[in-house]
Every structure is written in C-alpha cells, then in structure tokens.
Structure 1
C-alpha cells in the first residue's frame, strides 16, 4: 500500500486544522505510521484509501488540538495600534498562525491555505473546523464526513451550517475570497520595487485605505494607509534603503523574503511578507520575523552583493 502520494494533501489538511506547518508535518507522520500499522485491517469495500487516511488524520488532529488555544494573527487579539513608534516587543508565548510554504508540497487547493481564511477557521471548535474543511474544501460527502468523525449526517450538516456562519462573521469577506492570481502578483511586484527603494509614497499608493500591517511575533498591528506609511518610514530610517527581495508563495498568495543591507556588504534576511490583494491594492501585509518561519520556507539567511 503506497501512502506517499497522499502526503502533500494531508499536510495541507493538517495545516488548515492547526495553523502550523511544522505541526502539520508531524501530525501527517503520525497519520502515516498509524495507517501503516493498521493496513491489514483496511477494508477497501467500505472506503477508498484517501477517505480512510483522512479519517485517521482527522482523529490525529482532534487529539492534538484538545485543550489547545487557537493560533491567531495579531489583528485577532485586539485593537490596532495608533503609535507607529511603539516598541516592537515579540510575544513568543503566543502560538502564532504560520504561513504555508507552497514550494514544499504539491497541493491543488492552495487558495484555501491563505492566511485570512485559515485565521478565520481558527475561531471554530476543532470538530467544526474539520467538518468545514472536509466538506467545503476537500468536497467529501456528508455521509463520508459522518463516517470519518463517527457521527451522523444530520450532525455534520448542523456543524457545517454553524461553521459557515462563524467564518462569515470573521474578518473582511474580500480578504477571505479567492484572489486573482496574476493581478495580485503584479501588484506585489510593484510593491517589492518600491520597498527595495525605500519609497514610502509609492508603497502607500499601492495600499487600500484601510490596509492592515501586522508582524507576528510582535502582537501590535496597524490599520490604515496613514499609519502603515508612517511605520514604513520608521523601518527605512532604521535600516536604510537599497533592500533586496526574493519572490515566493505562501498559501496561494504572493509573498517575498525581504533582505536588509548590512554595513559590511551583502544582505541579511529580515522578514517574510505575505500579501492579500483586493481590487489591485494591498489590503493586508503579514510580516513574519520568526526564525522558524524562515526555516520552513528554506530561505537563505544571507545573500552576497556579488
């Protein structure tokens, strides 16, 4: 029984459930181990291998999530800051939501891995989260999901309805909607050029009026192009201009790694920035400065100026 072809989609599923790529990989490894041990008991007349694996993965995730706090973004914890000069103090005790590195696994439904949607799903109880992903993203039937969760079709349908209402009430619907890929990439390419030059007015022109900037593991965040621009002025005043960016993808959304110039020459990795684009403008920029996220995306820590 070859289980490896399912690994990528199972990692994506466990990521949607947990909000952590590292944890998702560990949970899939546990899923594969349990499936291998139970392979002699697998009954192909009752379910496909894929459905059977998702049942195991769901149980593994639900067990792992028992008693766990959700993984938030800073904007999910309180009101925005109005002080662009506020201290940038990391809160490493909070289990922050992490981005999904597209290059690591071949997954079809990447749009459902975007940060705004995964963050919205994090507000759901774990079983509702599983129902929503299994039914709406992976398109299992209500009967299949009931079998996977050991419950009834009526219970699945009820949980799905509650989950839809809860997710619809979280965040900006425009940010949760599927992005227009080609247009979004062009907007972020223009943003990257302005960022490299330290051109704050050009950056601000690419923002929506109520654009959000957040920077986990720092818990504060900003809303509005004005505060966004003032914070970027602070960044370039401290770090200078002449940055370097490297394009990548995170959860189906455009992203780039930002490298700051260093006095001795070359560039040092500063942040990974993941963008939500709405109406040809940047509506949200989630800026990650966590070394674990850098490792997940396999980003070089330094780049020479040669």
Structure 2
C-alpha cells in the first residue's frame, strides 16, 4: 500500500479482516453543505453504512497524509475550516507536498480508494459535462477517473446543474458501465427521472457485484456507475428544479464564476432559492445511496 495512506483503527481492522468497506468523499462536507448540517450528514451517513453491514471510510488529505477513515475531530475540522482546498487529481500532489488541508472530490476519492484496495464508493452526485461544455470544454475529472479507476460509484446520477445528455455520451465513449438501480432513466440528482435512458437496469445489488467480480476476472480497467434515484418523498420535480437552476446559472455568469468554484456557487444558490428544500433532498439522497452502497459492498465481499 502507498506509504502516504493513514487508516483509522476501524478501517484498518476491516481491511485486515477482509470486511466490506465503503469510502466516502469529503468535498460534500467542506464545500457542498453549510454547517452544522454537513457534519451531521457525514456522521449519519457513516452510521447508515455500519447499520447495513459495512465499515465507512471518509477520505480527506490532512498533514500530508491520505486519511482513510476520519475521527469526529477530523470531520469537525473539514466542516468548519475556511481554508479547505477542493482536491481533484490535478491538485493532489501539491496539497500533499504542502501538507495542506484538502477535501477530496469524486475523482480523488476514487484514486485513494483504489490505493487502499476498496471497491465501493458512495457519494451524492458525480460531476460531468457542464452546460455549454461543448464550447467551454468544462468537463469534470470525475468522468475520466471513472474511465480508468476500478471503483464502483453509487450516486443519484450526475448533478442536475450539468448537461446530463452529454455526460452520458462521455461515459459511453469512455466505456464506463452505467447501471440504473430499479430505474430505466438517469436520475437527475434532485429528481428521480430525466429524459436520458440508462442502458442497464438492475433490481438487486448482487447483480452489480457479480459484474464487478467478472470484470476482475477479465482484468478490465475502469469503474462502474450505479445510479440510484432519490426516494420519491424527497424529490423535487425536474421541471421545478430546472427553472431554479437556470436562474442560478444566469447569476453565475453575471458574477463571473467558473471552474471548480462553479459547483459550490450553484449549489449554494439552489439552496437559497428553494429555501433549504434542495439541501434536505441532497441529504436524503446521500442517506439512500449509503444504504445501497453498503449492500453492494457486502455482496461483493461475499463473492470474493
């Protein structure tokens, strides 16, 4: 294992005893939600994973180490510190060298999960091709990581602020298998459905676990995307949230926001414009993904 990896005791024991482990990103804590909801969400998500038979391992970069599994103090630091860097693949070496505090994106969490030998990762929604990306070339590194890193990502689809059609086309071009968990269309984060079809529907996490095991036998490289819709009672209808997103995009353009500052800005505006409703939806979809992700980790572990 990479000498920079630092495991907390719970995760260390799980790996040594070959127990199922589920990794979690930390950008959602530092950049995705306000305090104290962010740290409350992080703790509850970890507990849901434990309650469903797996061990949670939230990942962050701290003091030059790649921490796999965080203490309550670590979670509080990420949730409250003002100088937390948003760390994607391009930033990782710099943050480690500087021994700075960094929260991992989907891409970096996948990288560190692979270093640690963990195959299942739970998040809210992945990044993708931004609206207007055919002109700006604003495409999240998450998609490239899914094309090359052997980790299953359980999410509520791509973030609704993105161009979902082009995001799916990019994943198809890169050969990333996309599975809908009891759905035939790509969930749109806050909404259960979109107009984008998903080629593979599964009814049980064991189906994906078998695909992952077969992929291991074949020596295939690249990840798997399991799109799990937000529970119906917590969704915001697609037409309603899309109108709000368009307003937020207009304000983003007027403010001159771009690059990695775009997503936190837009998500913050959406929370503001929905009077907190979108934040509750975000929290509930993460909890739902945590349950499904833990089940997947358990099934995959049984096969191996």
Q: Is TM > 0.5 for Structure 1 vs Structure 2?
A: no
Give the TM-score taking structure 2 as reference length: 0.25
TM-score norm. by structure 1 comes to 0.24
